[in-house]
Structure 1
Amino acid sequence: MPAARRRTLAVSAALLAVLGTAGPALAASAPAIVQAPNASTTPHLVGPHSHVLNSTSSNWAGYSATGAKFTSVTASWVQPAASCTGSDTYSSFWIGLDGDGSNSVEQTGSEVDCSGGSPQYYAWYEMYPAYPVNFSNTVRPGDHFTSSVTTNGSGSFTLKLSDTTQGWTKTENKTLRNAALASAEIIAEAPSDSSGALPLTDFHTVSFTGATANGQPIGTFSPDAITMASGSTTKASTSSLSGGGSFSVTWKHS
C-alpha cells in the first residue's frame, strides 16, 4: 500500500523559522496539506501468477516497482501548466524510494497548486516522516526537470533535482537509518489534509521519461501501474510504459 510524502503548505512564520524553508504563496486560510499515506489502493490481479500489474489509488498515479532492494531511482519530466478556477487545488510530481508499503519516503519533485484562482509553482525535497523543505528557486510551466534519489544502502541518501530550463540544481545529502528500500516510484499525486485527498489541480498531462530503478528501466521490474480514482471517478490515468521507462499521467477530474 503506497505511502507518500508529507507536505505542509500553510505554515506560520514561526514554523518556517524552525523548518528553514520558504513556503509557497498560498492564502492564509489554506489547509495544512500533507502527502499522506495512500490508504485506498485496490489491486487488480492479472496473469497466471496473480502478479499485481495495475492498482487504483486515492491520491497516486504513475508507476511503483517493488520486489527488490532499491537503491536508486531516476526520471525526467516537464512541469505541466495548471488550469485554475476559483477553487483551491493541489498537485505534485516526484520520484522517490520507499512509500509503497513502508512508512518512510525519500523523495524530491515539483508542484503546482491553485490558490485564489492563481497557479503556484515550486519544487521541494522530503525525507518523510520529517517535514518537507521547499526550494526558493524559480519554477515555471514548461520547465524541464531531471532528478535522482540514491542511497548507499546504509542510511545515506543523495537527493538531486535539476531545473535545466531555469539553470539550477539542488543536491541534498541526508541520513535515514531505518529506510525500508522496498520500492521505487515515479508519481503524480493529489496532496491530502487530515480529511483525505484534496481536489487535484488540472495539470492536463505530465510526461515522464528516463524512468529507472537500480540503473535499469523501471519496466524491468514489472512495476505497478497506478490509476488515481475516488470511488467510480477517475481523477488521473496512467499510460502504458514506452521503452521501459517513459509514460504520461493525464488529469481527468479534480
Structure 2
Amino acid sequence: MPAARRVLALTAGLTALLSASAAPALAAPTIRQLPHHAPVVLTSPHTTGPHGGVLNSTSSNWAGYSATGGKYTSVSASWIQPTATCTETNTWSSFWVGLDGDGSDSVEQTGTEADCSGGSPVYSSWYEMYPAYPVNYSDPVAPGDHFSASVTEALGRFTLKITDETQGWSHTVRKTSRSAKLASAEVIAEAPSNLAGPLPLTDFGTVAFTGATANGKPLGSFKPDGITMAKKDGTVLASISPLSANGEDFTSTWHHS
C-alpha cells in the first residue's frame, strides 16, 4: 500500500477507535442477590415466660421456637405451605428447620418460601448453609402442600432433607462445615434479609408446624425460646402460639409487613 494511503487508513482507523471510545457506555446489568435466611436478630433478650419455663423474646426477623443451651445435631418438623396474600408489591417469607443461628453466626437450614414479586405470589423451596447464599430447588411448590424437613449433623457433615409429600418430590443434600457450633435447633417463620436488614414480610396468614423435634425428642422438652417477630417500636409482625401438650406443634400468624 502507498505511504499516503497507509497514513489515511491509519488516520481513519484511529478516528473510528476514538469515536468508539467516546460513545456512551452501556449500563451494566443489575445482579439481584437472593435474600439470606439469616441468624436471629433479637430486639429483646431471652426472658423467662409463663409457659412452663419456656423463654420468650422478640426478633426483627424470626418467629418460632429455638432450643439453646446444649449441643444439637438434629432438628425436624412438618408444615403446610401457606398462601401468600400480596397486599404489597414485593414481600418475602420463609418457613424452615435448622441448626445454629441463635447464638452463632452460621445457620444450616432447609425450607420453603412464600413471596410476592410484582404483586403476584411466588412459591419455592431451598437449602442454605449461611453465610453462603441459599440454593433454590426448581420443583413445584403450591399453597396447601404438606412438607417435612430435617437437618442432621455427624462429624461435621450435614444432611439437609426436604420432602413435598403432596407433589411427590424430595431432595437430600450433604454439606460439610467444620466451624458450625451446633448451638441451637429451631423451627422458624422468617422475614428473609438483604444487606440492609429484614425485608417486608409476606402476609402468609397462619402456618402450622407439627412434629417439631430436636435430637430426636420433642422440641418442647428443651424449654425452647418462643420468639415473636416485631419491629423495634413494638409492632408485631408475626406471633406464635404456645407449644402443644406434646411439645411438638405450634402455629405462627402474620400481623404486619
Match of 1:160 in 2: 161
Q: Which runs of 5+ in 1 are unaligned?
A: 1-27
Aligned partner letter, 1:247: F
CA distance in 2, matches of 1:209, 1:30: 34
The structural deviation recorded for 1:114 is 0.3
CA distance in 2, matches of 1:226, 1:47: 11
Structure 1 length as normaliser, TM-score?
0.84
Q: Deviations over 1:217-243 (max 9, x none)?
A: 000000000000002200000100002
Match of 2:137 in 1: 135
1:222 is aligned to 2:223: yes
In structure 1, which of residues 145, 160, 165 is the aligned counterpart of residue 147 of structure 2?
145
The structural deviation recorded for 1:33 is 2.4
Contact 1:43/1:52, CA 8 A, preserved across alignment: no
The structural deviation recorded for 1:86 is 4.2
Match of 1:250 in 2: 253
106-115 or 33-42: which moved more? 33-42
CA distance in 2, matches of 1:204, 1:168: 25
Task: Name which one, 1 or 2, has greater alpha-carbon Rg.
Answer: 2
Identical columns (%): 66
Kindly tell me the number of residue pairs found equivalent between the two proteins: 224
Match of 2:198 in 1: 197
CA distance in 2, matches of 1:65, 1:121: 28
Partner-residue secondary structure (3-state), 2:85: coil
CA distance in 2, matches of 1:34, 1:45: 27
Structure 2 length as normaliser, TM-score?
0.83
Q: Deviations over 1:174-222 (max 9, x none)?
A: 1111110010000000011222111100000000000000000000000
The structural deviation recorded for 1:56 is 0.3
Partner-residue secondary structure (3-state), 1:162: strand
In structure 2, relative to structure 1, the CA distance for the partners of 1:113 and 1:59 (3 Å cut) is same
Contact 2:209/2:250, CA 8 A, preserved across alignment: yes
In structure 2, relative to structure 1, the CA distance for the partners of 1:47 and 1:114 (3 Å cut) is closer
CA distance in 1, matches of 2:114, 2:125: 9
1:42-121 paired onto structure 2 within 5 Å: 42-46=44-48, 53-121=55-123
Could you say what the CA RMSD is over the residues aligned between the two structures, in angstroms?
1.8
192-201 or 204-213: which moved more? 192-201
Q: Which runs of 5+ in 2 are unaligned?
A: 1-29
In structure 2, relative to structure 1, the CA distance for the partners of 1:72 and 1:87 (3 Å cut) is same
Q: Deviations over 1:132-190 (max 9, x none)?
A: 110000000000000110011x2111110000000000000111111100100000000
